[in-house]
């Protein structure tokens, strides 16, 4: 990863409101980022098909395809870090965005300087997590996580559909197999944020993940709950 303050960092900014998009793009360019603007998801998809970006800033509420759907596409097709921009304040909307694979969530109105700091934090986190030679796959409990394509192959050879957030959560647990990972650490590692007092997003995501990967989701044996601690992957993991 390049220096996150350099103009080599390319940002895809998607917002249908010119009064927000254009001043924000100008500010980010003054901060030495390279910024491409899109007024809707269709335009953003065309840009993403022809260029590679380091991070995407997506408005949630847009005419036509909304930001949540676009986030799902970008994280699945390009493994692109995404920060959601929204006027919504409901916790449910924020959790949905994060669980779809978004890396952060900023509520309008926001400070452009705060957004800049969040962009740099997301990029730094990505740089820290990128190993020099990432394995192609992680194998455990007759499951295969294909890291390069972000696919999970089941016990009978079938593909198990996971959201970007679910894949990231399972990968974090697999990388720390046999160790207890706290809810706070899971949020920090998968969503780059700390938990609120009543935040149940990790528990909800684990519950959905168990239904997809456990042999018996009613009696989970793979993803274990550690009372007062967090979660642990109870499997031996090998890589290839």
Q: Is 221:214 a contact under the CB 8 Å cutoff?
A: yes
Residue 196's pLDDT is: 55
Residue 104: how many CB atoms within 10 A of its CB?
22
What superfamily in CATH does domain 10-129 come from?
Response regulator (3.40.50.2300)
Q: 3-class SS at 102?
A: coil
Residue 9's pLDDT is: 86
Whether the bond between 110 and the residue before it is cis, its omega within 30 degrees of 0, is no
Q: What is the torsional sign of CA 189, 195, 201, 203?
A: positive
pTM: 0.55
The reply to whether CATH 1.10.10.10 applies to domain 137-239 is yes
Residue 197's pLDDT is: 45
- How do the pLDDT tens digits run along the chain, 240 residues long? 444 444 578 999 999 999 999 999 999 999 889 999 999 999 999 998 888 888 999 998 898 988 888 888 887 777 788 998 887 666 666 666 666 667 888 888 888 988 998 898 888 776 555 445 568 899 999 999 998 888 999 999 999 999 888 998 999 999 889 989 888 888 777 765 555 545 678 889 999 999 999 999 999 999 999 988 799 999 999 998
Residue 99's pLDDT is: 66
Residue 1's pLDDT is: 40
Residue intervals of the chain classified under CATH 1.10.10.10 are 137-239
Residue intervals of the chain classified under CATH 3.40.50.2300 are 10-129
Cβ within 8 Å of residue 91, ≥6 positions away: none
Residue 165's pLDDT is: 86
Residue 97's pLDDT is: 67
């Amino acid at each position: 990863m390049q220096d996150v303050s350099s103009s080599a960092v390319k940002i895809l900014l998607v917002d249908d409101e010119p009064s927000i998009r254009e001043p924000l793009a100008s500010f980010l360019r003054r901060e030495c980022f390279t910024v491409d603007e899109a007024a809707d998801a269709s335009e953003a998809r065309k840009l993403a098909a022809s260029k590679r970006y380091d991070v995407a800033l997506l408005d949630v509420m847009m005419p036509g395809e909304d930001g949540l759907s676009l986030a799902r596409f970008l994280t699945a097709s390009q493994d692109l870090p995404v920060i959601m921009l929204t006027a919504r304040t409901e916790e449910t909307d924020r959790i949905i965005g994060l669980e779809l694979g978004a890396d952060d969530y900023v509520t309008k109105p926001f400070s452009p300087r705060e957004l800049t700091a969040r962009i740099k934090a997301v990029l730094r986190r990505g740089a820290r997590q990128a190993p020099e030679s990432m394995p192609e796959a992680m194998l455990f409990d007759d499951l295969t996580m294909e890291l390069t394509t972000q696919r999970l192959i089941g016990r009978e050879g079938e593909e198990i559909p996971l959201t970007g957030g679910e894949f990231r959560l399972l990968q974090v647990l697999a990388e720390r197999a046999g160790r207890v990972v706290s809810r706070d650490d899971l949020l920090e590692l998968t969503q780059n944020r700390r938990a609120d007092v009543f935040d149940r997003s990790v528990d909800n995501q684990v519950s959905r993940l168990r239904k997809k990967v456990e042999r018996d989701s009613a009696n989970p044996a793979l993803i274990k709950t550690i009372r007062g601690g967090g979660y642990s992957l109870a499997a031996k993991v090998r890589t290839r």
